[in-house]
Amino acid sequence: MKQPDHPAPAQKGGAVQSAYLHPYACFRCRKSFKRASRVEAVLPCPECGGPSIGLTRKFKPPKRSDEKQWIKVEALVRHGFLFWSLGEPYPDTLHDVAAFAQRHAEFIARERARRPEAYRQIEAALSLVR
């Protein structure tokens, strides 16, 4: 089986494996769904048709009813985090997101530089959410 040349935007590196499912999060309807690895950073949500953002397989979505946690996840994605392993747990609350983002600013800058088109798509999609 021929592997695509470019890793999916939510992957930290390596070849895209079609056997893997990656989560996509929709902040409009607060749902997550999985799709086979793709190069698209943003896909339409199957529930509401709004934009959903491709994240890494490490992402564990909050309950749909947990609005505070969905707001926190959206804030992390707006800062550029797609849920890679970073050597420390992701913040528990929205209050802690800014400090977390500050600690990992260099990493996020490198990721944005490596995948500028994916981040343009993500930022455009996030502008439609609210």
Does residue 5 lie in a domain region?
Answer: no
Does residue 6 lie in a domain region?
Answer: no
Does residue 8 lie in a domain region?
Answer: no
The rounded mean pLDDT for the chain is 88
Q: How far is CA 129 from CA 5, 15, 50, 93, in A?
A: 31, 30, 8, 21
Helix intervals (H) in the chain: 67-78, 97-103, 105-114, 116-127
What's the structural domain count of the chain?
A: 1
- pLDDT band of residue 36 (cuts 50, 70, 90) is confident
Domain with 58 in it: 21-127
What are 60-104's pLDDT values in tens digits? 999 999 999 999 999 999 999 999 999 999 999 999 999 999 999
Per-residue pLDDT, 3? 46
Identify which of 74, 28, 63 has the alpha carbon closest to the alpha carbon of residue 48.
28
Does residue 4 lie in a domain region?
Answer: no
10 pLDDT above the threshold of 60: no
Region 111-119: mean pLDDT is: 96
Q: End-to-end CA distance of the chain, in Å?
A: 41
